[in-house]
């Protein structure tokens, strides 16, 4: 298994995540898709670190995890608040802020 396969897997995961964000309406699913994209990036970082033989990519992967954890905390809180106010977890229903 060469590191290139890991990169290819990372691209596939990222695309799945991106398409999920674009096509799904449920905010929870969108959220999970974002996590999927972040982890695809992590995989790519680790794979490149392995390819280049230094630790930079691995360190950044940890940073991404920390940011993702913080993001989940804030994002789920917003999601809860929106759901309480509008009785819906659909991202298309929360469209008041517009032109």
Partner 1 sequence: MTTLTGRALADAVHAQALTTVPATGALKLSWLLLAFPLFGAVVLLVGGRRTNRWGHLLGVAMPVAAFVYGAIAYFTLLGDTNREQDRHLYTYILVGRFQANVNLLIDPLSICFILLITGVGSLIIIYSVGYMAHDPARRKFFGYMNLFIASMLLLVLADNYLVLYVGWEGVGLASYLLIGFWQDRNSAAVAAKKAFVVNRVGDAGLTLAIFLMFSAFGTVSFTGVFHQVPSGGSGVATALGFLLLLGACGKSAQVPLQSWLLDAMEGPTPVSALIHAATMVTAGVYLLVRSNPILAVAPDARIGVAVVGTVTLLFGGIIASAKDDIKKSLAGSTMSQIGYMTLGAGLGPEGYVFAIALLLAHGFYKAGLFLGSGSVIHAMDDEQDMRRYGGLYRVMPATYVTFGLAYLAIIGIPPFSGFFTKDPIIEGDFTQHGTGGWILGICALLGAGITAFYMTRMMLMTWYGKRRWEAEAHPHESPAVMVWPMIILAIGSVGAGAFLIINDRLQNFLAPVVGVPPVSHGFVTPAGIVALVLALAAVGLAWLMYGRIPVAAVAPQGNPLVTAARKDLYGDAFNESVLMRPGQWLTRLSVYFDNRGVDGLVNTTAALIGGTSGRWRRLQNGFVRSYALSMLAGGVVLVALLLAVRL
Q: Other CB atoms closer than 10 Å to residue 56's CB: what's the count? A: 11
**Per-residue DSSP letter, 53:** T
Site string for partner 1, 59-98 (x = CB under 8 A): --------------------------------xx-xxxxx
Nearer to partner 1, 84 or 95 (CB): 95
Question: In Å, how far from its chain's centre is CA 49?
Answer: 20
**Share in percent of the chain as helix, strand, coil (round to 5):** 80, 0, 20
Between residues 60 and 93, which has the closer beta carbon with respect to partner 1? 93
Asked if residue 43 lies in contact with residue 9, where contact means CB atoms within 8 angstroms, the answer is: yes
CB of 96 to partner 1, least distance (A): 6
Q: Min. distance of Cβ 85 from partner 1 in angstroms?
A: 15
Contact between 56 and 49 under an 8 Å Cβ cutoff? The reply is yes
Least distance between partner 1 and beta carbon 10 (Å): 15
Per rule CB under 8 A, is residue 22 in the interface with partner 1?
A: yes
**Residues engaged in binding partner 1 (CB under 8 A):** 18, 21-23, 25, 30, 91-92, 94-99
């Amino acid at each position: 298994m060469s590191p290139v396969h890991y990169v290819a897997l990372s691209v596939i995961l990222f695309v799945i995540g991106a398409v999920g964000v674009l096509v799904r309406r449920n905010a929870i699913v969108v959220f999970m898709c974002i996590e999927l994209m972040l982890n695809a990036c992590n995989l790519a970082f680790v794979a490149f670190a392995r390819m280049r033989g230094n630790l930079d990519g691995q360190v950044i992967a940890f940073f991404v995890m920390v940011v993702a954890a913080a993001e989940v905390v804030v994002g789920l809180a917003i999601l809860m608040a929106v759901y309480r106010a509008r009785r819906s977890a659909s991202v298309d229903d929360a469209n008041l802020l517009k032109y």
